[in-house]
Amino acid sequence: MLSLLIVPLLLTGGFELGGRVGVLFPASGLETNHGDAALFGVDFGYRTGPNVFTLEYRYSGLHAKEASPYRLDINEPAIGYGRDFSLGRAGATSDWGLEGSVAAGFGLLSRTLGSARETGAAPSGHLDVGVFQRQGHSRLSLTLDNIVFSESQSAGSSRTVSLTYLIALKGGVAYVF
């Protein structure tokens, strides 16, 4: 059954490779002592019509707001699904519109203060919405990524769940093969 789904996809689709840069804004308490940070990412996607399946990798390093050797690094591989909603077309290979995507990631986290370092990991969910413009093989996008990291630990008979929300404004460029 799965092969019946995959074969038509491979026959009708194509690959794309892209990169993203942006700004990561901490929220839900992190903003108290963490400043905004640059965000970098690379995407590898398989596109079929308006649908795209992606493998992504993102990195961001949040620094302390005050002068301090403290830093919080987030490395995050993710898999995602996105869809384009074309609003305008100019010729056979040029169009623009809205895009939306969801992704599941796995944040590899590191906090450092001088030589002291502690590491961890947390699963994450992404909801990314924005606009795109495609012309020939090139595709540009500007999106707002809503990121939620989920952490939990049992404490006695109860379980503590901690959700951490971050927002990223990202610009992307991709080459569609």
Partner 1 sequence: MSSDAPGRTGRVALAAAVALIVLAGCNDMTLLRAKSDYFPLISGSRWTYDVAGNAAVDSVAGDSAIDDRACIVVLRDYSPEYWTKAATEARKLTRLTVIREGQEYTIEERYGLVYELPFVLGATWSESFCDTVVLMGTDTVKLNDSLAGRVAAIDSVATPAGTFIQCYRVDTYRDIKTVEPSDTTDSLLVYSEWLAPGVGLVKRVTGTETRVLTAYEPGS
Q: Which residues contact partner 1 by CB under 8 A? A: 4-6, 8-9, 12, 28-30, 32-34, 48-51, 53, 64-68, 70, 72, 79-81, 83, 102-104, 106, 109, 111-125, 149-153, 155-156, 160, 162, 164
Say how far apart CA 25 and CA 6 lie, in whole Å. 37
* Contacts with 90 (C-beta within 8 Å, 6 or more apart), sequence order: none
Say how far apart CA 112 and CA 114 lie, in whole Å. 6
- Smallest distance from the beta carbon of 42 to partner 1, in angstroms? 19
- Smallest distance from the beta carbon of 12 to partner 1, in angstroms? 6
Both tokens of residue 121? 């990991």
- Nearer to partner 1 by Cβ, of 93 and 162: the residue is 162
- Nearer to partner 1 by Cβ, of 9 and 171: the residue is 9
- Smallest distance from the beta carbon of 71 to partner 1, in angstroms? 10
Beta pairing partners, 71: 63, 112
- Smallest distance from the beta carbon of 127 to partner 1, in angstroms? 11
Say how far apart CA 144 and CA 149 lie, in whole Å. 16
Which helix (H) or strand (E) segment is 79 a member of?
A: strand 70-89
- Nearer to partner 1 by Cβ, of 48 and 146: the residue is 48
Tally Cβ neighbours within 10 Å of residue 81.
14
- Nearer to partner 1 by Cβ, of 62 and 174: the residue is 62
- Smallest distance from the beta carbon of 174 to partner 1, in angstroms? 18
- Nearer to partner 1 by Cβ, of 14 and 173: the residue is 14
User: What count of residues does the chain have?
Assistant: 177
